[in-house]
Structure 1
């Protein structure tokens, strides 16, 4: 259902507000550059520091500009089940095509709690759901057995997973237990290996900054042209690393500010601006990638 290069979109700010005009230009640039899907209000979009009105507005703008040309997978998760349901309803009204639901963070629910949480939402959602497992941020890990059971219960609703656990063996486990589940990488540096194992794309940080290169890489990997994919991966690899040379998305926004004078590098606290050391890493990686 989902494939290729799918950026988890950064959210531009103008002072204390979302820069709606810059965001519209950013979405249009991503589509023109070959991105095959868009994720508004993901981790890279600073969803944790968007207020609810901003959260819903960002999804609506993305869906409006995309206008059905690529799927919009709206970040709609929460550590509160009822708040997640509210985000789901608003994303549906806004015109999103699918929902990205992160594992509840901070609460540390059990696997039974995760089953109940995602089942409750699946029963009330009208759009396809992409589970988002990123235990490095949420502490909570959606175990493969839980993923498989959720897909078994809701095969037409829980259709995909973005896995950022770093454990590539899970791709095989998910594939064997839930063969109809669409699997997406959540780690740019692991995307090439993920294709070999059965993933179909990546919800990407680096694609914010180098959408053209990422689109070419994912096209090659998706077509099984692994010689070309390896070459492109080695061009992109320093950029993958540089995007996390400081707290994300500060390096992403710094790089976007270098590429576009209409995209301010501003982040929201507690994310500080990109450090000098990180800027040097980004500068070198962008030069290697030919996008300096």
Structure 2
């Protein structure tokens, strides 16, 4: 459940910015059908920083409801307040989620000791498995390998989503942690290389719109069939990059709308919808990737 193609699920909203439960069901069904390994509900791609506590809770619980036990659900529970992150993690005790994904404290820019104490406090507050999430470009702080190694000794910290795109981190972390510690890529463009170096999968933005392809890539890679996996990945490479032509998740929400997976591509301020320039770029890439036709 913590390997393969795990989708960093978007949070669908209507044209007024309210949560769209019907579209969420369609998204969950899409991932079940296309063999996505697990769903991260309300991670950072799910616009967690603009959702209320109640909305956050509802999104996770609705995702669990729609999954019907057919696909594991991981709750996004990160926050830059340790107390808030603890509250979120504890909220999902005995809920049915299989674990939590917790991003490094953003804006605060804590020291390595501060990062360690933050995640230690969260892990000690719950029995749920914890996955660390390192994305320095968005948070302003970086979990260095020696800190990951310290955290890996805590029994329910089971892995890390490493989104720096720095492939050297795979071997650096592997050398310091026990063999069961799970390394997941958080960067679609380098994920296949990450897996070939010893990673166990990807928590993916691209999987929102290319679920089968990402699932196939990870399955083939797990079997050592990297030549075939690369042929699929090559067709998605520009998409991996251009889904960030403007700040995530506006681009991927636009594609989800075009594919009919959601009704509206609304994003909450301070995010804004994909611009006309962004649409022109992304439409061309989606046509080349075979996701949409030229007449859309």
The normalised TM-score by structure 2 is 0.95
Query: Does residue 96 in structure 1 map to residue 100 in structure 2?
Result: no
Give 1:93 shift: 4.6
Instruction: Give the aligned length.
Output: 290
Residues 134-192 of structure 1 deviation map (CA, whole Å, 9 limit, x = unaligned): 0101111111101001112x1x3000100011221111111111122100000000011
Assess, with a 3 A threshold, how the Cα gap between structure 1 residues 177 and 261 changes in structure 2: closer, same or farther.
Answer: closer
Give 1:94 shift: 3.4
Alignment map for 1:1-292 (pairs within 5 Å):
2-14=2-14, 15-152=16-153, 154=154, 156-178=155-177, 179-260=179-260, 262-292=262-292
Q: Give the stretch that moved more between structures: 198-207 or 11-20.
A: 11-20
Alignment check: 8 A CA contact 2:13 2:264 kept: yes
Which consecutive unaligned segments of at least 5 residues does structure 1 have? Answer: none
Alignment check: 8 A CA contact 1:105 1:139 kept: yes
The normalised TM-score by structure 1 is 0.96
Distance 2:92 2:209 in 1: 25
Residues 102-153 of structure 1 deviation map (CA, whole Å, 9 limit, x = unaligned): 111111111111111111111111110000000101111111101001112x
Give 1:289 shift: 1.8
Alignment check: 8 A CA contact 1:174 1:181 kept: no
Alignment check: 8 A CA contact 2:79 2:102 kept: yes
Distance 1:276 1:259 in 2: 18
Residues 36-70 of structure 1 deviation map (CA, whole Å, 9 limit, x = unaligned): 01001111111111111101110111112223322
Alignment check: 8 A CA contact 1:71 1:98 kept: no
User: Segments of 4+ in structure 1 off by > 6 A?
Assistant: none
Alignment check: 8 A CA contact 1:206 1:239 kept: yes
**Partner SS, residue 92 of structure 1:** coil
Alignment check: 8 A CA contact 2:17 2:266 kept: no
Assess, with a 3 A threshold, how the Cα gap between structure 1 residues 262 and 192 changes in structure 2: closer, same or farther.
Answer: closer
Give 1:263 shift: 2.9
Distance 1:145 1:24 in 2: 40
**Partner SS, residue 234 of structure 2:** helix
